[in-house]
């Protein structure tokens, strides 16, 4: 059997034959495993070599060299004996006649389960590469749920395959590398296995962009020589300060790996000089207390940069990573990045959940490694919930990718518990993070004891309280602003389960409940009123109306109001049409209130591009305000009247906005300003002149102008500011 890929010629020569590889494996495991483990690994090696006999890699090596190389990677991470034995045997079921039962009889149920778990990840093949990748990831999650060591073996397997892509066709090498960057490297990061993640990313980078990698590596090598003296001096000064303070710690220079440099240059449009303008160091000490003492020492040595301190010791990252991060003004003002961590934290930073097995082998029941393992298990449980409610593998992997590339914020529950969320998360994301039931029944939210719209973006350090009510259900419009995979998956799942009959029934109950506020009910609404309302809203029948309400597309309170008085005049400019009306070219301004009266607050003059919130007002329908409008303080007291709204994608209408100008009072100034405004394509609707100040030298003018959106307004204000007689320009309202 000709299986696998060619060994890179630059790899160690010891990889060419199995025996030296096995000796190297035993040397590594003897450093931390008991003597009896050697016997288990020898049996696994002999069994694997026997049953892989006659199978060779493209380089001509015995195939067993591959599983041995995978075992060495796991031994370097100090994994447990069962994991290492399973890695030696991981291709047995797939590539030989041996089945799971035979393997269990020879090595026990636990090792057989691990091997079977790894085997299942690669058995099914699909025509569509995207579906294949998605389905393989779904299987990976199921395997991790049974035993998280399965993914650690699979990651080590992928790492060795990436090391030995060899003479594979370039197209296939790029496909494998992209899959590794998309899935395997982020999973390694999420499990805290940073040593593996870094090497995977660099290998993928060198495969996909070989020229860029070569140029970048050469430049790093050149710069390293130029910076050597400065790095050495800073390192010595930090080490000396630690010794003066009686702190037992070791200072290390730290360099970004190639892919990290490339990604930073690419994403932030930085030059190579900008990226390498920072000197980075790591200080490893003995205990958590010493970490904070060390922080004080380095802050006394060099002045800290304000706002650049992060405490991942008190609040660890999702993958269990703990460290103190700070940035200092070094010699001649050069920035110095410093990470301070304990030895235990260092092990977790390198190996993540793999550190758990090291603690376990020493008989310890707690520690950073165990905490990382617990967090990983919690993450996998969350993935299981999502995969059970996802419609297909592609939808599942789309949701998971959101969690694999987070930029975290940390918020608090009212009891002081810390909840970690991706940047941009909202109170609805928070509610689902606490518990699915709380998310499903979320009615309103308080941030730092103040009521806020559900689409509010949360910031680190805020305290969030969810107001829930029995009978409240997820709203389809939430999908427009939630960003966590768990929230999105739960809402989609609920909406999929909500069949048409259920939606009609729910919608009828919601409308009836809203009508009760007017001391009436659906049964008391006359047939004539029903017909008039349905015609005005261009809805075919009551079932369609109730379904729209039940699915969260229409607002019960506004439907009730129109049913009571269907003759309410609707301003056609501000009417929100359904898709049939929209297709005829009428403007759709605000999503979420189709067929209802919508007015815009004259207190704050909202325009497209503003963050907005709707308020259901008696007599005015939905009143749209800017999010920062001062009048919202009054309606804070009635959160049940809030409506989640957002601007439609295409509007094609102009909106009034109030702009105040302080100008030097000269002849012809009003005319020149009017011409400037007209040149920007904006219309002047009204002008008001305030009292003159400073004996007539300064005048204040209020222009009400019609603009298309915030971008248009910004252009008008820039042009006005450039007029020599204009002293100040600002937007009024809110």
The predicted-structure confidence for 491-500, as pLDDT tens digits, reads as follows 877 877 666 6
What's the pLDDT score for residue 123?
A: 45
Q: Is 13-193 in CATH node 1.10.3210.10?
A: yes
Q: With bands split at pLDDT 50, 70 and 90, how would you rate the model's confidence at 159?
A: very high
* Domain spans in the chain, listed from the N-terminal domain onward: 13-193, 219-351, 406-493, 500-647, 655-731
Active site residues: 94-95
User: How far apart, in Å, are the Cα atoms of 252 and each of 280, 281, 366?
Assistant: 9, 6, 27
What's the pLDDT score for residue 311?
A: 87
pLDDT digits (tens, 9 = 90+) for 512-538: 887 887 788 888 888 888 888 888 777
What's the pLDDT score for residue 553?
A: 67
**pLDDT at residue 283 is higher than 90:** yes
Apex 712 CA angle, 708 and 718, nearest 5: 155
What's the pLDDT score for residue 716?
A: 92
What's the pLDDT score for residue 413?
A: 86
254/337 Cα distance (integer angstroms):
9
**pLDDT at residue 8 is higher than 80:** no
**pLDDT at residue 302 is higher than 80:** yes
Q: Is 655-731 in CATH node 3.30.70.260?
A: yes
What's the pLDDT score for residue 583?
A: 32
Place of tokens 């790095």: 231
Q: With bands split at pLDDT 50, 70 and 90, how would you rate the model's confidence at 428?
A: very high
Q: Are 529 and 523 in contact (CB under 8 A)?
A: no
Give me the DSSP letters along 519-541.
Answer: T--GGGS-HHHHHHHHHHTT-S-
Q: Give the up-direction half-sphere exposure of residue 707: CA atoms within 13 A in the CB hemisphere.
A: 25
Q: With bands split at pLDDT 50, 70 and 90, how would you rate the model's confidence at 379?
A: low
What's the pLDDT score for residue 2?
A: 38
Mean pLDDT (the chain) is 77
Token pair in block for residue 87: 């890695």
Overall size of the chain counted in residues: 734
Token pair in block for residue 654: 């102009």
> One fold for both 219-351 and 406-493?
no
- Residues with Cβ < 8 Å from 583, sequence gap 6 or more? none
Strand partners, 446: 451, 465
What's the pLDDT score for residue 260?
A: 83
Q: Is 406-493 in CATH node 2.40.50.100?
A: no
Q: What is the mean pLDDT of residues 357-369?
A: 47
Q: What is the mean pLDDT of residues 23-41?
A: 89
Give the predicted TM-score (pTM) of the model: 0.51
Q: Is 467 exposed, middle or buried (0-12, 13-18, 19+ CB in 10 A)?
A: middle
Report the range of poorest mean pLDDT among 14-18, 34-38, 87-91. 14-18
pLDDT digits (tens, 9 = 90+) for 240-263: 999 998 998 899 887 778 888 888
Domain range 219-351, CATH architecture: 2-Layer Sandwich (3.30)
**pLDDT at residue 26 is higher than 80:** yes
């Amino acid at each position: 059997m000709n299986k696998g890929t060619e060994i890179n010629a630059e790899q160690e020569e010891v990889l060419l034959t199995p025996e030296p590889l096995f000796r190297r494996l035993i040397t590594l495991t003897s450093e931390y495993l008991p003597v009896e483990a050697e016997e288990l690994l020898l049996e696994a090696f002999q069994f694997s070599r026997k049953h892989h006999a006659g199978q060779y890699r493209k380089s001509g090596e015995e195939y067993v060299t591959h599983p041995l190389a995978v075992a060495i990677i796991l031994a370097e991470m100090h994994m447990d004996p069962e994991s290492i034995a399973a890695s030696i045997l991981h291709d047995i079921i797939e590539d030989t006649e041996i089945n799971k039962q035979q393997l269990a009889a020879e090595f026990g149920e636990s090792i057989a389960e691990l091997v079977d778990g790894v085997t299942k990840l690669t058995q099914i093949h699909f025509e569509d590469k995207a579906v294949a990748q998605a389905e393989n990831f779904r299987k990976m999650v199921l395997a991790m749920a049974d035993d998280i060591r399965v993914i650690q073996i699979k990651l080590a397997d992928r790492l060795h395959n990436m090391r030995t892509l060899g003479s594979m066709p370039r197209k296939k090498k790029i496909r494998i590398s992209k899959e590794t960057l998309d899935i395997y490297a982020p999973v390694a990061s999420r499990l805290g296995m940073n040593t593996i993640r870094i090497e995977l990313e660099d290998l993928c980078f060198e495969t996909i962009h070989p020229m860029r990698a070569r140029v970048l590596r050469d430049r790093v090598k050149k710069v390293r020589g130029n910076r050597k003296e400065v790095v050495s001096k800073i390192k010595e000064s930090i080490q000396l300060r630690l010794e003066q303070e009686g702190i037992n710690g070791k200072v290390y220079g730290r360099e970004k790996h190639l892919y990290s440099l490339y990604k930073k240059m690419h994403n932030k449009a930085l030059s190579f000089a900008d990226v390498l303008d920072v000197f980075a160091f790591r200080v490893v000490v003995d205990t958590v207390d010493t970490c904070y003492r060390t922080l004080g020492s380095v802050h006394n040595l060099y002045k800290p940069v304000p706002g650049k301190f992060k405490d991942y010791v008190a609040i660890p990252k999702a993958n269990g990573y703990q460290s103190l991060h700070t940035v200092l003004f070094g010699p001649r003002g050069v920035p110095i990045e410093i990470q301070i961590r304990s030895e235990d934290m260092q092990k977790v930073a390198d190996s993540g959940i793999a550190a758990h097995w090291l603690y376990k082998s020493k008989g310890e029941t707690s520690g950073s490694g165990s905490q990382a393992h617990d967090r990983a298990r919690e993450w996998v449980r969350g993935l299981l919930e999502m995969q059970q409610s996802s419609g297909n593998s592609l939808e599942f992997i789309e949701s998971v990718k959101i969690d694999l590339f987070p930029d975290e914020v940390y918020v608090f529950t009212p009891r002081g518990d810390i909840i970690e969320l991706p940047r941009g998360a909202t109170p609805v994301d928070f509610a689902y993070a606490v518990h699915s039931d709380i998310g499903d029944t979320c009615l309103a939210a308080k941030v730092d004891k103040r009521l806020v719209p559900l689409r509010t973006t949360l910031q680190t350090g805020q305290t969030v309280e969810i107001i829930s009510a029995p009978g409240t259900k997820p709203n389809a419009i939430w999908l427009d602003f939630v960003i966590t995979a768990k929230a999105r998956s739960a809402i989609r799942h609920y909406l999929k389960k909500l069949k048409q009959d259920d939606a009609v029934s729910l919608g009828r109950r919601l409308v009836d409940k809203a009508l009760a506020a007017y001391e009436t009910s659906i049964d008391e609404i006359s047939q004539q009123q029903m017909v008039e309302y349905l015609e005005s809203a261009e809805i075919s029948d009551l079932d369609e109306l109730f379904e729209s309400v039940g699915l969260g597309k229409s607002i019960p309170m506004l439907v009730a109001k129109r049913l009571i008085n269907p003759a309410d005049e609707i301003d056609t400019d501000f009417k929100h049409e359904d898709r049939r009306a929209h297709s005829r070219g009428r403007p759709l301004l605000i999503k979420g209130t189709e067929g209802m009266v919508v007015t815009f607050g004259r207190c704050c003059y909202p325009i497209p591009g503003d963050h907005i919130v709707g308020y259901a007002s008696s007599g005015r329908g939905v009143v749209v305000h800017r999010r920062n409008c001062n009048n919202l303080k009054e309606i804070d007291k009635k959160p049940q009247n809030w409506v989640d709204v957002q601007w439609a994608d295409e509007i094609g209408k102009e909106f009034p906005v109030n702009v105040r100008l302080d100008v030097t009072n000269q002849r012809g100034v009003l005319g020149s300003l009017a011409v400037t405004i007209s040149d920007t394509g904006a219309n002047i609707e009204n002008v008001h002149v305030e009292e003159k100040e400073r004996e007539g030298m300064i005048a204040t003018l209020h222009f009400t102008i019609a603009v298309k959106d915030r971008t248009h307004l910004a252009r008008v204000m820039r042009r006005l500011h450039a007029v020599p007689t204009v002293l100040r320009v600002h937007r009024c309202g809110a």
